[in-house]
Amino acid sequence: MSWRLKRHDFNQQKGNSNKFAMKALVEQNEKTGILAYIGGKPVGWCAVAPREAYLRLENSRVWKRIDDEPVWSITCFFVSKPYRRKGISFELVKGAIAYCMANNVKIIEGYPVVPYGDNIPDAFAWTGFPSVFEKAGFVVAERRSQSKPIMRYYI
């Protein structure tokens, strides 16, 4: 929910309130994202939806719109700890591309973080890494910050 709300609102309803808000979106069939499963067990999540759903993007100096083209955005990932560094994020990006194609999306954006060293804490990796997006065919479309490019995939 952090991308869907203004920072102040997200912080005010931290915890269960945000969980219930996300659950309500899912129950209303809103576009929220995709899950990764291994052996029938959910192991990962990728938030992907129309850009307009993400207020933090719309209000950001770094991630403001590049142009007026309609886009969907991949805003965050979660991979269960035992499954990290096993390629799940890449599979989630591929799944997000397929999901977007099924929804007739023409442009997908991602907002990865550029790691400054070999070891980035998991807490800072939630938007993904450029290498994962590049491997899936994304290109840097805009760079207003050295550490936070806007990457695009064109269908």
User: Quick one: tokens of 119?
Assistant: 């070891």
Read off the pLDDT of residues 9-55 as tens digits, 9 standing for 90 and up.
555 667 666 566 566 656 677 778 999 999 999 999 999 999 998 87
For residue 7, pLDDT beyond 80: no
- 63 and 117, same domain (yes or no): yes
What's residue 99's pLDDT?
Answer: 96
What's residue 133's pLDDT?
Answer: 97
Read off the pLDDT of residues 53-109 as tens digits, 9 standing for 90 and up.
887 888 888 989 999 999 999 999 989 999 998 999 999 999 999 999 999 999 999
- 115 and 92, same domain (yes or no): yes
- 10 and 56, same domain (yes or no): no
What's residue 50's pLDDT?
Answer: 95
What's residue 75's pLDDT?
Answer: 93
For residue 5, pLDDT beyond 60: no
- 145 and 70, same domain (yes or no): yes
Q: Domain containing 23: what range?
A: 1-29
Q: What is the DSSP string of 22-79?
A: HHHHHHTT---EEEEEETTEEEEEEEEEEGGG-HHHHT-SSS--SSSS--EEEEEEEE
Q: What is the CATH number of the domain that holds 53?
A: 3.40.630.30
Read off the pLDDT of residues 96-148 as tens digits, 9 standing for 90 and up.
999 999 999 999 999 999 887 777 766 667 889 999 999 999 999 999 988 89
- 63 and 129, same domain (yes or no): yes
What's residue 115's pLDDT?
Answer: 82
Domain count of the fold of the chain: 2
> Is-contact 78 123, C-beta < 8 A?
no
- 13 and 48, same domain (yes or no): no
- 7 and 71, same domain (yes or no): no
- 84 and 14, same domain (yes or no): no
What's residue 13's pLDDT?
Answer: 66
